[in-house]
Chains A and B, each alone.
Chain A
């Protein structure tokens, strides 16, 4: 079993829908949580970063961390066709090198 689990999808939603993307993890040492967005034929780019439990909002995007459940989420409000991409969660352990462990990514399709 991978340390970070993420449903590959695809997740298909209509434009304007609220999207929920999720990851679970098994290692309680993960302390820092990130979401990357990867467009087709491109490299991943950092979207949001959060530390420990709680919520963080950035425009239409909200990242949520529940450390007690080892569960993180990314919500996208008013989704747009331009949000169509693969979303990868990534996590960094407390202590040691700050090298992220990535989930497999969830493919999101927002259709007009």
Chain B
């Protein structure tokens, strides 16, 4: 398997623009997670899905952020409008289940810069 695939790898945009990040989880994994990583705050969970259904979105910073999972092989994280403070690395991860011993496999991340 190719692992978790994210696109784009890098995104530079201007404040106020819409940004869409994409993720393809590992085939057969029922759980999908979106994280944001910054130097100041570390790795933070934004939202996670089980069988395409959002389970916990309490980490989504504000209404400008939205995430969807229209099918088992695709998810998007959208920021509209984007702001400079949204600059971070966004990771998608997937796991077979969500038990303690169920490893989350992370994608390579999307490095977002909002000017």
Cβ contacts under 8 Å, B55 to chain A: 97
Cβ contacts under 8 Å, A8 to chain B: 39
- Nearest-Cβ distance from residue A33 to partner chain B, whole angstroms: 10
B49 on interface, CB distance cutoff 8 Å: no
- Nearest-Cβ distance from residue B47 to partner chain A, whole angstroms: 11
Interface size classification for chain B: 20 to 34
Question: Do B45 and A44 touch (CB < 8 A)?
Answer: no
- Given A98-B98, A99-B98, answer yes or no on A41-B108 (Cβ-Cβ < 8 Å): yes
B34 on interface, CB distance cutoff 8 Å: no
Of all chain A residues, the one with the shortest Cβ separation from B35 is A102
Which B residues have a C-beta under 8 Å from some C-beta of A?
Answer: 4, 33, 39, 41-45, 48, 55-56, 91, 93, 98-109
Q: List 27 A-B contacts (CB under 8 A).
A: A2-B42, A6-B42, A8-B39, A32-B100, A42-B106, A42-B108, A43-B4, A43-B91, A43-B106, A43-B108, A44-B106, A46-B104, A49-B100, A49-B101, A51-B100, A97-B56, A98-B98, A98-B100, A98-B102, A99-B33, A99-B45, A99-B48, A99-B98, A102-B42, A102-B44, A104-B43, A105-B42
